[in-house]
Amino acid sequence: MTQEDFLFLARLVRRRSGLLLAEGRGPALELRLQPVMRRFGFRDAKAMMAELRLGHEALAQALTEAVTINETSFFRDPHQFARLRDHVLPGRIAARSGEKRLRIWSAGCAAGQEAWSLAMMLDAMPLSGWTVDLIATDLSGDAIARAKAGHYSQYDVLRGLSEEDVARHFTALENGFAISSRLKRTVRFRKFNLLDSFGWLDDVDLILCRNVLLHFDRVARIAVLERLAETLAPGGALLLGESETVQGRSDLFQEIAGSPGFYSPTEMPVARLAG
C-alpha cells in the first residue's frame, strides 16, 4: 500500500472509531485487509483504496473493523478481577441491596472472554433474586459473533481458566469448548461503536473498558471518558486496563480508596450534564 493510501486509511479509521493506526504495522496491516479485499472482490489494494475514496460505506466499515486489535483472554490481569470480586462488587451489591439490581458493561469486549469471566464471577456471588444486566459490546462484528457463539479453542481456555472453571461453565466440543447454556443466558452481546451515542445505557454500576482507549487518539479518548463518567451510577466504578489512566479528564473521576485502577465519577451525572 502506498504511503498516501495508508494515510488516507488511517484518517478514515480514526474518524470512524477513534483508533490510531501505527505506521509500523505495514505488512501486518495488509494481512488484515486481505480478507476484506477478497470479500468485496478487489484484485489489489490499489483498486480497493480507489473505491474507498469514492465513499463505499460498507467497505469503510469492514476495513475499520478489520484493523481492530482483539487480543484478550479469560480473567486477563487476574489481580484486577480479584479486586473486583473482593472489594468493588461487594461494595456495589451493598449499595444496590434495596433494589436488587446490578448493571455491568464490558465495553470493548473483543471475542467475549472478559464478559464471560465476569459472568463466571457473578455466578459465584450471592445474587439469587437479583436482576443482573451484563452487557458486552464491541465495534467488531466478527468479534461479537464469536463472543455470542461462546466457542473457544483449548488454547483460549488454557489462558486464564482453571480446570474447575472449565468443568463448571463449559461443555467439551470436538475441537474446543462451548460456554454452558446456563451461563449463556446471562450476557447480552451487541455490536456498538464507542464513538456513537450512549443514550441506551444509563445508571451503570460497573464499566470495564480495558485496553481499548489506549489505542485511541487523545480527542476521542477524552470524549469517551466523559460519556463513561455520565453513564456510571453515582458510586459506580470504571475499570481501565492496567497501563491506562483517566488522564485528560481526571477531574471527572476519583480513584476508589483501596482499589487502585478503579475510578468513580466525581459528581452526579445530571449535575455534570447541566454544567
Residues of this chain that bind ligand SAM (CB under 6 A) = 17-19, 68-72, 76, 108-110, 114, 138-140, 143, 193-195, 210-212, 241
Region of 107 please: left (phi>0), alpha (psi -120 to 50) or beta.
Answer: beta
Nearer to ligand SAM, 48 or 110 (CB): 110
Report which secondary-structure segment, H or E, holds 240.
strand 232-240
Residue (96 or 228) nearer to ligand SAM, CB: 228
Phi, psi of 106 (to 5 degrees): -95, 105
H helix count then E strand count, the chain: 13, 10
Closer by beta carbon to ligand SAM, 140 or else 264: 140
Least spacing, CB of residue 128 vs ligand SAM, in Å: 28
> Closer to ligand SAM at the Cβ: 183 or 195?
195
Q: In angstroms, what is the minimal distance from the CB of 270 to ligand SAM?
A: 25
Rounded-to-integer distance, Cα 76 and Cα 63, Å? 27
C-beta closer to ligand SAM: residue 140 or 259: 140
Give the three cell numbers for residue 190.
Answer: 451487541
Q: How far is the CB of 273 from ligand SAM (least distance, A)?
A: 22
DSSP string, 199-240: TT--SEEEEEE-SSGGGB-HHHHHHHHHHHHHHEEEEEEEEE
CB of 215 vs ligand SAM, minimal distance in Å:
6
Cβ–Cβ under 8 Å, residues 199 and 230: no
Compute the least distance from the CB of residue 181 to ligand SAM, in Å: 24
